[in-house]
Amino acid sequence: MNLLLSVLVIVAAPSAEDAGRVRTISVDAKTTREPIPLRLSTTTSTTIKLNRPVAKGISIGMADDFLLEVLDGQSQINVKAKTSKVGLTTNLNVPTKTGEFVSFDVSTVEAKKADVFLSIEFVGPAPSVTKAEETMGPCSSECEEKMARSYLSGAADVLAVRSLGDRAVNWDVIFKVLTFVKIGNRGFIRFEIENRSRDTWVAGEVKLSFAVSGRDAKDVEVNHFFKQAVIERGATTSGAIGFDMYDLPENARFRIQAFEKNGTRHPEVTGVRL
């Protein structure tokens, strides 16, 4: 008698965890780190969960090829590729409302290799929000009108424009001081930051000080502005500082420093004559 032996073999498919598609990554915002690899496909929506609230200003290269879903103030991002082409690479930069950021090296892959879930855990307590950040709000229309009248009044009095052209480099972050403008008793310096490094540069504060021969340097109180706070590798942004010029000596030489937020790359230009 022939004996028919049926054998059922059950092979467990590798889980997403086994394939490395679910990951938990610790990030120390105080140290410079390489961008985190992020693998995306058209059929998988990848979830990125942070232990910080996400801020506005998320940027991704080749934005037309990717779908990004996030609500300001939440801590979860959903992202997927819109193109089926494998091998595309770009970067994704995510700032948080606590002033930290995380960068990703994005690549498009086959569906079975795409990341499913990334948990990003910033190490330590969130940085405290400064008093200025707590109280500073958007300028109202009335506020803007008053500012415009003030500047026009100054322009009718004294207006000076001078090209500067000074520059400095710190770890492939190029700081260019371009133009000085004086309106009334208020001075403005326009500058540019070009990031040629491998890592994203996040704008912090800008400091201005001056010195004259035989005296110690003195800080100048300034307001600063960057058109873009998060500067990706290969990107450039411009900014400006404004300050009162009542007590600044004519023979002063100025030092301008652009600080990286939660970083160590602080390019500075010295010996600037206004």
Residues 147, 250: one domain? yes
Residues 257, 206: one domain? yes
Specify the pLDDT at position 175.
Answer: 92
Choose one of 122, 150, 172: the last residue of a domain.
122
Residues of the chain with pLDDT under 50: 1-14, 16-18, 72, 129-138
Residues 53, 116: one domain? yes
Specify the pLDDT at position 31.
Answer: 61
Domain-embedded: residue 130: no
Question: What is the span of the domain harbouring residue 206?
Answer: 142-272
Specify the pLDDT at position 8.
Answer: 38
Choose one of 87, 122, 157: the last residue of a domain.
122
Choose one of 122, 155, 172: the last residue of a domain.
122
Residues 118, 36: one domain? yes
Residues 78, 200: one domain? no
Domain-embedded: residue 134: no
Residues 116, 175: one domain? no
Q: Which residues contact 112 (CB under 8 A, 6 or more apart)?
A: 19
Q: How far apart, in whole angstroms, are the C-alpha atoms of residue 198 and residue 1?
A: 73
Specify the pLDDT at position 192.
Answer: 92
Q: Are strands 117-122 and 22-27 parallel, antiparallel or unpaired?
A: parallel
Domain-embedded: residue 55: yes
Specify the pLDDT at position 249.
Answer: 82
Residues 156, 240: one domain? yes
Give the CATH number for residue 220.
Answer: 2.60.40.10
194's tokens: 């070009």
Residues 118, 146: one domain? no
Residues 76, 168: one domain? no
Residues 41, 149: one domain? no
Domain-embedded: residue 135: no
Give the CATH number for residue 102.
Answer: 2.60.40
Specify the pLDDT at position 135.
Answer: 38
Specify the pLDDT at position 3.
Answer: 42
Domain-embedded: residue 136: no
Domain-embedded: residue 1: no
∠ CA 161-165-159, nearest 5°, is 5
Number of domains in the chain: 2
Residues 158, 207: one domain? yes
Biggest CA pair distance of the chain: 114
Domain-embedded: residue 17: no
Residues 196, 95: one domain? no
Domain-embedded: residue 227: yes
